[in-house]
A and B are shown apart, each in its own frame.
Chain A
Amino acid sequence: MQILITSKKLLETIQKLATRLYETHPDMNEVVFVGIQKGGVVVANDIVSNLQTLHAPKKIQYGQLDITFYRDDIRNEIHSPDTMNLPFDIENKKVVLIDDVLFTGRTIKAALDVLLDYGRPAKVELCVFVDRKEHRQFPIQADYVGVTVETKSTDKVKLLNKEVVLIS
């Protein structure tokens, strides 16, 4: 196991992402933030808490999305679902999806499918903490990237205890 991003760098990167998101969307009224279960929610919690500080006293709209029932590998393995919580209407809103690691793009494809069953957003953006760019299987790119890393396709990249680690 190798540490790719230390907890100090992780904290800085989260702050940078939050600042960029806040600068891009000065009018937060029309924007909602959605973390993808589970890893994405861990990152999203931190990003949204930074955004909330910047935006106080007004409230940031934040929800959590679970893709379990929309996975394309359901016949190989049944996964237990996580909590789905979108406590707002996404119709005509700008939705910023937040995930921890962008790898093949399949999770994001499923997340878009889930999202569209809740309404028709005006725009969907993607914010990821780590981008494993060279392994994409779908034409999906992130609008906000924390760190880009070079990995082998067999590697696993995980967020563990506020650090990003690579397991070969």
Chain B
Amino acid sequence: MQLSTRHLLGIKNLTKEDISLILSTAGQFKEVLQRPVKKVPSLRDVTIVNLFYENSTRTRFSFELAEKRLSADTINFASSNSSASKGETLLDTVNNILSMKVDMVVMRHSASGAPHFLAKHIPAAIINAGDGVNEHPTQALLDAFTINEKLGKLKGVKVAIIGDILHSRVAMSNIYLLNKMGAKVVVCGPPTLIPIHIKEALNVEVSYNLKETLAWCDVANVLRIQLERQNQVLFSSLREYNLTYGITKEVLNSLKKEIVVMHPGPVNRGVELDSDVMDSKQSVILQQVENGVAVRMAVLYLLSNRKN
């Protein structure tokens, strides 16, 4: 079994079989993480560079840990303390790193399409760890893994993606993945944070009513309000956002069924999620983080045979 692609640039160009293969392989890696020695030798001859042009805690740690659990050698690059701040271009930086015999590149960049650009120009396998407002494929894969673990399936599961859809690469990757796997998707948030033609373009339903959406869904994937990507005022205040779209324990308790609450992190406590929701047993946020390592191990493992 092999993936149909040599890079993981986004969910958009994966097949349903690719997604199933990654998720089932991740299941086996999750077992590896429970062993006394949480490490396998699969990638011991592979060198990976983690190229982070944008801030990250969870994703960078998660990739680094996944690489180490696979016995790969890793190098970390953060643009703030590198030659990028001296004006070197992306391609030059990467070519310099590649001349040191690197096999795979994990990259996060604020420009949408940056990993696609790299994939065209360098021979290493590229894994997108988030590019601008385009995609964050490993987040969608770990979200799907978590939903499947919790509910035993993806097909037919009702997922609400709530919050800042406009600026969210997590939403994009999740929508592509859930549609491919036969789940039902509703995006919910203030009209200013939902792209106008999203319904036609991405085949999702749109709702501006939080309570109705929560009553409908099995899973609420709550997104962070990305203050750093908003150069205009799209809602009046964080307080108002919280009052209209923030998820509180009261709202959850008023529902007829117990829904699963997810969040890709980092959480703005008291804005999109109240603290008592985040810490409740309905929240699987920490399981998502745990599953992230297994899912990233699966992606790295499955792409590692196209070694140059």
Which A residues touch B301, using CB under 8 A?
69, 78
- Looking at the complex, which one of A69, A78, A84 makes contact with B2 (CB distance below 8 Å)? A78
Name the residue on B nearest A77 (C-beta). B305
Q: Render A28-70 as a binary contact track against B, CB cut-off 8 A, 1 for contact.
A: 0000000000000000000000000000000000000010111
A125 to B34, CA, bound (A): 25
**Chain B, 294-308, CB within 8 A of any chain A CB:** 301-302, 304-305, 307
Which B residues touch A70, using CB under 8 A?
40-42
Report if A66-B28 is in contact (Cβ < 8 Å); known contacts: A75-B45, A78-B1, A78-B302.
yes
A75 to B301, CA, bound (A): 10
Which A residues touch B40, using CB under 8 A?
69-70, 117
Which A residues touch B37, using CB under 8 A?
117-118
Q: B35 in the interface, Cβ–Cβ < 8 Å?
A: yes
Which B residues touch A82, using CB under 8 A?
28
Q: B24 in the interface, Cβ–Cβ < 8 Å?
A: yes
- Contact (Cβ within 8 A) B24 A84: no
**Chain B, 16-38, CB within 8 A of any chain A CB:** 21, 24-25, 28, 31-32, 35-37
Which B residues touch A113, using CB under 8 A?
41
Name the residue on B nearest A84 (C-beta). B31
Give B residues with C-beta under 8 Å from A. Answer: 1-2, 21, 24-25, 28, 31-32, 35-37, 39-42, 45, 301-302, 304-305, 307
Residue tally, chain A, CB below 8 Å to B:
19
CB distance from B25 to the nearest CB of A (A): 6
User: Could you pull out 23 A-B pairs where Cβ atoms are within 8 angstroms?
Assistant: A66-B28, A69-B32, A70-B41, A70-B42, A75-B307, A76-B305, A77-B305, A78-B1, A78-B2, A78-B301, A78-B302, A78-B304, A78-B305, A79-B1, A80-B1, A80-B21, A80-B25, A82-B28, A83-B28, A84-B31, A117-B37, A118-B36, A119-B36
Q: How many A-B residue pairs have CB under 8 A?
A: 48
A77 to B32, CA, bound (A): 21
Name the residue on A nearest B31 (C-beta). A84
Give A residues with C-beta under 8 Å from B. Answer: 66, 68-70, 74-84, 113, 117-119
A18 to B41, CA, bound (A): 33
Which B residues touch A76, using CB under 8 A?
305
A20 to B59, CA, bound (A): 53
A69 to B27, CA, bound (A): 13
- Looking at the complex, which one of B24, B42, B45, B305 makes contact with A69 (CB distance below 8 Å)? B42
A69 to B69, CA, bound (A): 11
Instruction: Pick the 3 closest A-B CB pairs, nearest first.
Output: A69-B40, A117-B37, A81-B28
Which A residues touch B25, using CB under 8 A?
80-81
Report if A117-B39 is in contact (Cβ < 8 Å); known contacts: A66-B28, A78-B304, A80-B24.
yes
Name the residue on A nearest B46 (C-beta). A75
Report if A117-B28 is in contact (Cβ < 8 Å); known contacts: A78-B301, A80-B21.
no
CB distance from A102 to the nearest CB of B (A): 22
CB distance from A137 to the nearest CB of B (A): 19
A79 to B24, CA, bound (A): 12
Name the residue on B nearest A69 (C-beta). B40
Which A residues touch B2, using CB under 8 A?
78
Which A residues touch B21, using CB under 8 A?
80
Which B residues touch A84, using CB under 8 A?
28, 31-32
Which B residues touch A83, using CB under 8 A?
28
CB distance from B260 to the nearest CB of A (A): 26
A99 to B264, CA, bound (A): 43
Which B residues touch A75, using CB under 8 A?
45, 304-305, 307
A82 to B2, CA, bound (A): 15
CB distance from A62 to the nearest CB of B (A): 17
Which A residues touch B302, using CB under 8 A?
78
- Contact (Cβ within 8 A) B1 A117: no
Which A residues touch B39, using CB under 8 A?
117
A76 to B39, CA, bound (A): 21
- Looking at the complex, which one of A74, A77, A117, A118 makes contact with B42 (CB distance below 8 Å)? A74
A84 to B28, CA, bound (A): 7
A143 to B66, CA, bound (A): 38
A104 to B263, CA, bound (A): 49
CB distance from A36 to the nearest CB of B (A): 15
A70 to B32, CA, bound (A): 12
A77 to B45, CA, bound (A): 15
Which A residues touch B36, using CB under 8 A?
117-119
